[in-house]
Structure 1
Amino acid sequence: MSVADPRRIVLFRHAKADWPQVNDHERPLAERGRKDAAVAGRKLADTGIHLDLALCSTAVRTRETWKLAVHEFPQRPKTIYEERVYEASPGELIAVLNEVDDGAQNVILIGHNPGVHGLADILSGSAEGDARERMNRRGFPAAAFAVLTFTGSWKTLEPGTATLADYWAPSE
């Protein structure tokens, strides 16, 4: 694979979390979140994107979301639980993605809002079809994901260099 080959980034927000009396990092998924995580996993699997690497926040709700979603995939990618994804700004998330080895063509980042939605907006200099309109209309609800494409090294990923290729959110 060369850096001239298109790369994909899937930005995946954790599914709906519960609000028990625990600190924010330890919040588990709600019943609806467990269901939506599996549905999102099936939708991601249906895209046919072969994921090489998953970068997942260390928060309980993101780890649970990923565990339920990845179960739907034909092949599990290498997963790294990355503390820097928790409560990260779009700029901090770009810095994490800039460190990805160029051997990885397709990466999924499982994180939180407002960082994930902000990152999708900031990276996408263009969009295919009505993907941007759908994302702007729906926002980035729990269990939503956006697929972005770009060409080049991960080190060159910066605002405006990607195309928003697809967007999906669960039904309310």
Structure 2
Amino acid sequence: MTRTLLLMRHAKAEDGYGVMDHDRELTDKGRRQAERVGQLLTERSYEPDHVICSAARRTRQTLDGVLGAMELSPEVDYTEAAYLASADELLELVSYVDPGVRTVLLVGHNPAVAQVAASFVGSEALVAYSPATVAAVELEVEWLYTAPGTGTGSILN
């Protein structure tokens, strides 16, 4: 069974002046970006049945916009572990996903999300991962074995 890992950086957030980083909210532009990603994923027939989302406010709001546009309600794991995670730590979170899940959407932060994407897509992901960027990685292994070299991907937007 082929599995799909969707790697998304949160949408455009406020600069955070006077607000704790964890509590930064999306801008109006960020809300529109999140909805557009949901529309893009729908147009390309991606339907996440499991989500790993950083517990930060901007990632939660991004996910709300994406799923609202997709009219989906997958199982969602909001986790503090994804907030300041390294690329390896994000891949470890993916490794815990139930083997029966076909498509995972991971919503997180740079630089880690771009680093994970680059390990499947190529180094251009390190430059191209602006807010609301999403990549799709097709994996030929179970989630437990997700690692660089176990799949191929591309940046969708």
Q: TM-score range, shorter-chain basis?
A: over 0.9
* 1:41-92 deviation digits (Å, cap 9, x = unpaired): 1111111022110111000000000001111114321111011110211000
2:136 corresponds, among 143, 147, 159, to 147
Please list every run of at least 4 consecutive aligned residues from structure 1 whose deviation after the TM superposition is greater than 2 angstroms.
Answer: 132-136
1:113: which partner in 2? Answer: 110
2:6: which partner in 1? Answer: 10
1:91 corresponds, among 88, 93, 96, to 88
1:167 and 2:155 correspond = yes
Kept in 2, the 8 Å contact 1:36–1:143? The answer is: yes
Aligned residue type for 1:142: P
Q: Any idea what SS the aligned residue of 2:70 has?
A: coil
Q: Which runs of 5+ in 2 are unaligned?
A: none
**How far apart in 2 are the matches of 1:81 and 1:134?**
28
For residues 20-39 of structure 1, the aligned pairs below 5 Å read: 20=16, 21-39=18-36
Kept in 2, the 8 Å contact 1:134–1:167? The answer is: no
Q: Give 1 or 2 for the bigger CA radius of gyration.
A: 1
Quote the offset at 1:151 in angstroms. 1.2
Kept in 1, the 8 Å contact 2:67–2:73? The answer is: yes
Give the % identical residues.
33
**How far apart in 2 are the matches of 1:83 and 1:133?**
27
TM-score by length of 2: 0.93
**How far apart in 2 are the matches of 1:159 and 1:168?**
19
* 1:24-46 deviation digits (Å, cap 9, x = unpaired): 00000012111111111111111
Kept in 2, the 8 Å contact 1:45–1:74? The answer is: no
